[in-house]
Chain A
Amino acid sequence: MNKQTLSTNHQEIIRLENAHKIYQMGTEQVKALAGIDVSFDKGSFWAIMGPSGSGKSTMMNILGCLDRLTSGSYYLDAKDVSRLDDDSLSEFRLRYLGFIFQSFNLIPQLTVQRNIELPLYYLGWDARRSAERAKELAEEVGLGDRLGHRPTELSGGQMQRVAIARALSNDPQVIFADEPTGNLDSATGEQILELLIKLNNLGKTIIIVTHEPAIAAHAQNRLHMLDGLIDRIEGKSDEAD
């Protein structure tokens, strides 16, 4: 319902204009992004696909504010972030973005609660409020009874749920998921995907990077990349355009 109103309003959350990312590999220049123009709506669910070397990882790093464009512009929530320094990019990641990784990337020496609290810690929340929020989120992903456990004591699916709870704790606009089901069996992967769909239904913009068509099929829109350029875009949004 929510999603519907957002997509009809065409509220942009992400826009790339003539985005180039060029790596210098010895004497050779590698164009990881060779001039991309694309925009994602608020509340949409995108899958970025493509074979390895197509530039989808670079795309993810750029969109996730982990890396900067060589040329072109990137607008995140209508703010140009392509010329920002490291500190400001960190600030954007902290306030706008959430990350979910293939290998979960939880900090092993921290408990589930502390892992979920991590973004709140950098946001400067006090311990009591953080603990409440962490508990809420853990319950939301079905791990309310595991707050005191270490990640190593959890199964893969549970670890990914913790990672999702962590990605949600700062109430981000966009959640990036890099092969979120890659290390999980298909049943668990399905559950994780359902969780992501649920979040999308709650209004979060989800961007998933995957090479599995079965996973990508859950997304509203699929962006296929090849050689640093957009190969094709499938899904509802091009019908809408």
Chain B
Amino acid sequence: MAARVSYGRLLAIVVKRSRDITSAEDALADAFTKALTSWPEKGVPDNPEAWLLTVARNRLTDRQRQLTRFPMENEMPDISDEAISKPNLSDDRLALLMVCSHPAISRDLHTPLMLQTVLGIDAKTIAHLFMISPTALSKRLVRAKTKIRDAGIPFEIPEPEDLPQRSTAIFEAIYAVHTHDWLEPSDDLGEEALYLANLLTTLLPDQPETFGLAALIAFGHARRSARIVEGVLVPVEEQDGSKWDQKLYAYGLRQLERAHSLGHVGRFQIEAAIQSVHLARLETGVTNWSALNKLYFALLQIAPTSGALVAHAMVTSRLFGYAAGLQALTVAEKQTGPGFQPLWAARADLLAKEGEQEAALAAYGKAISLTTETPMRRFLEARCLKAGRGTE
């Protein structure tokens, strides 16, 4: 984690001066390489970050000299000695995050750019994690960085009136790190999402959604060890609560309280509150479905996603019966369309509970055909088998 903190911080400082992410990355990579040979020989310098910054700065200056035959003093604003020698390096990562999620940059590149520049994850690893063609992603990232430099995308914190909207783009990019569906549990990016969200709570402490997002990610990550057992997905209500991470749960609750104290409700706060209700089962022993009903109702007012509609229908079934849940799913389908996997998984579950065996089996079949993740499919296949045995 220490190297990760350093990387994004140092890169942000170098980029702020060079306004060119690619050359800043190259210069910093050179500095890290030089450290690998120099530090074991001469010992780790007193201020390693200042040492790395100095080397990176010199590399940038060398490169600039190579590019221009008659270098001019002010052509490339230098990193001042003062900036380097300050014991606490300035944190320019918010400006870096703003650049990565600038509206002029294609939205699907926001997350990869963030992972690369703030966490120092290389393009091939990102491509592997997100199942994108690595060569194409690398080329697109290079083009995006060229655009950032040549189009003059400002490396600055936006004006207060633009801040909420620009912050939302950052939230969404970090949220995408959190929700990215992996093929292997080892590809889970929960730690990275949590790191970025927590970082944001220090960089954007005036935005309530910052804390909502951190809480949401913490609650999700707290359940990571209970989510898949022997390769099969376990729904939240059936998870073994003793496997939940208590520290992360407590952290999430603190973030949620901070969000509420700022007095402006948003999508991530409500989603986090929903997760906290599920986790509270550990203390109370029961799931508070009526609280979930209210929260989903509120969530649907501001973010009527297909996922929330289906989840709300399931809560409805708990409070008002399976038939009411199935009816809510029929209404939800108008928005979700017939190819939405969670809709069919939910419908199959409710039909099985209603004793509609034939319809349940058909719904399970449809849900399984739409499932591309193995743990989820195994779960549905097991449920389907159970439903099939129901009236034997």
Q: Do A and B come from one complex?
A: no
